[in-house]
Structure 1
Amino acid sequence: MKTLDYIILVLIIVGAVNWGLIGFFQFDLVRVIFGNMSLFSRIIYAVVGLSGLYAISYFGRIRSTM
């Protein structure tokens, strides 16, 4: 489970950096690398979004360790 948590965390960081680039510079790195809403770029966005939803479970685990 710990490995999955690290993978999810990396995906969330990638998504956050991409959103930061969009917000500050109007530069979408995923679009530049994989194309404008190509199948692969949509998969990347979906996986990052699902990672964010999974990360909600971190709150419950943090609370249970305190």
Structure 2
Amino acid sequence: MLSPHEFATLMLLETNPRSENLDPGDLDALCERQLVYLEELTSGYAHGRLTAQGRTILRSVGRVH
């Protein structure tokens, strides 16, 4: 089960993949659950991307069409 913070992080990543302002612990938990992956950019930043499973969770609560 996702914590409220992890669920909020998942929703935020849906609309804004920039992950530098998100809690690293929440991102790690979502990566471990294979709901998100981090894409390393040449600039040194990482963007969070939803996996198919992450999109399924958001779709199940009406967040993704």
TM range (shorter): 0.3 to 0.5
Based on CA coordinates, which of the two structures has the bigger radius of gyration?
A: 1
Higher strand share: 2
Normalising by structure 2, report the TM-score. 0.35
Higher helix share: 1
Normalising by structure 1, report the TM-score. 0.34
Which structure carries more relative contact order (alpha carbon 8 Å, separation 6+)?
Answer: 1
